[in-house]
Amino acid sequence: MKQPQVVMIGLGYIGLPTAALIAQNKSYVHGVDTNPKIVDTINEGKIHIIEPDLDKAVAEAVSQGYLKASTTPVVANTYLIVVPTPFKGKNEPDISFVEAATKAIIPLLKEDDLYIIESTSPVGTTEKMMDLIYGARPELKTKLNIAYCPERVLPGNVMYELVNNDRVIGGIDEKSTKKAVSFYKEFIKGDLHETNARTAEMCKLVENSSRDVQIAFANELSLICDKAEIDVWELIKLANKHPRVNILQPGCGVGGHCIAVDPYFIVSDYPMESQIIGKAREINNYKSFWCAEKIQTAKLQFEINHGRKPSIALMGLAFKPNIDDLRESPAKYIVQKVLQNANNEDYYIVEPNIETHNVFKLTSYKEAVEKADIIAFLVAHKEFKQLNLSKDKVVLDFCGVIINNK
Ligand code: SAJ
């Protein structure tokens, strides 16, 4: 492989697709991951994550010699930091992976290089990393290009959205912004919007917080309507006929590793100011708890009505419809909670997008709905929309599978 133009640190859900895309555009990419297994898999032209079309892109990039993985970085012109930013303590963002990745490349940096953070980060992270870099390499002060550019791709549609979505690019100075824009222009068709690093950092957090707040509004409506004996799905459909109203769909809560997480980055730094954002998180978390309680109540009611214990189908484990990703899944939380309260009832746990699970024994969705007395829809998977349910079943439709299909 020739001297790489790009070093990509972090070969996960965003780093690997981005590395493959850059490599497909005939730039030499040196991918870095701390996990040697991931490095070996990629060097074999294979992938360790599930994402449509990624396997082909990686296989092609590796076989043509444009992408190579390693556990250590090498000298290049552009360095991209795409590592996780998890939490520590009580919902406080942990930027230690960004810091470690930055420290690893500091000795390699030279004049005019481009350093970009893509990891979701608290406001001020890019400036902090700039201080770290110039603290260690004072001779490079003002001579590097340092920028923040968040990703905004939807899992399941990453390869399309990576190319076609607009991007926000914020440098620590004008020169950095321009340099980063000319880098992304090579492989992105969406518009590239220029700003400063702090605004770009906040923009990412605000995009996901905005969606979280909107979903919380829908979830709050579902709680109100349950008490008021109003069909929330019909209500939302009708309200959305207004030209300036667009309410999202209630569900079992908000899952995934982005929307359910990023708002805390704002709340943790601006606790007094971020009242709605914090409350939305609470509402969306509470909604999952509420669903579990509803199942518990339905169980007890069935026993009173029929003088026997019910069998229960729990429909879906993924964090959203039609995917196999169970991370931070409200449906999984609900299933766990319901099983904690199990009292000799029969349970059928269903997830059509995965074959087996190391904790739950899975049942096919057809068998589950046939055998169960109570059917709780936790995820609106497409398979569930085809089902014909007999009238004697107790149906808890938390995500509008049945109603929205009428
Ligand atoms: N959900 C609802 N009701 C809705 C829409 C979604 O309850 O009306 C729930 C889903 O079931 C799921 C959660 O919200 O549990 C999140 O799903 P999602 O499809 O809204 O979003 P993610 O987490 O897959 O991806 C988001 C996207 N952000 C926005 O749409 C603002 C994506 O563009 C980001 O790149 C991604 O987060 C990320 O990586 O930050």
* pLDDT per residue rounded down to tens, the chain (406 residues): 678 899 999 999 999 999 999 999 999 999 999 999 999 999 999 999 878 999 999 999 999 999 999 999 999 999 999 999 988 877 889 999 999 999 999 999 999 999 999 999 999 999 999 999 999 999 999 999 999 999 999 988 999 999 999 999 999 999 999 999 999 999 999 999 999 999 999 999 999 999 999 999 999 999 999 999 999 999 999 999 999 999 999 999 999 889 999 999 999 999 999 999 999 999 999 999 999 999 999 999 999 999 999 999 999 999 999 888 898 999 999 999 999 999 999 999 999 999 999 999 999 999 999 999 999 999 999 999 989 898 999 999 999 998 766 5
* pLDDT given at position 302: 97
* pLDDT given at position 405: 60
CB of 291 closer than 6 angstroms to any ligand 1 atom = no
CB of 254 closer than 6 angstroms to any ligand 1 atom = yes
| C-alpha–C-alpha distance, residues 331 and 351, integer Å | 10
CA of 259 to the centre of ligand 1 (A): 6
CA of 46 to the centre of ligand 1 (A): 27
Atom 7 in ligand 1: residue holding the nearest Cα = 251
| C-alpha–C-alpha distance, residues 400 and 402, integer Å | 6
Residue 298 in contact with residue 341, Cβ under 8 Å? Answer: no
Quote the tokens at residue 91: 């919902």
Q: Given 68, 204, 299, 320, which residue is catalytic?
A: 204
Atom 38 in ligand 1: residue holding the nearest Cα = 258
| C-alpha–C-alpha distance, residues 185 and 170, integer Å | 14
* Number of neighbouring beta carbons within 10 Å of residue 230: 13
* pLDDT given at position 404: 64
User: What domains are there in the chain, each with its CATH number?
Assistant: 6-195 (3.40.50.720), 251-405 (3.40.50.720)
Quote the tokens at residue 16: 């690997």
* pLDDT given at position 87: 84
* Number of neighbouring beta carbons within 10 Å of residue 180: 27
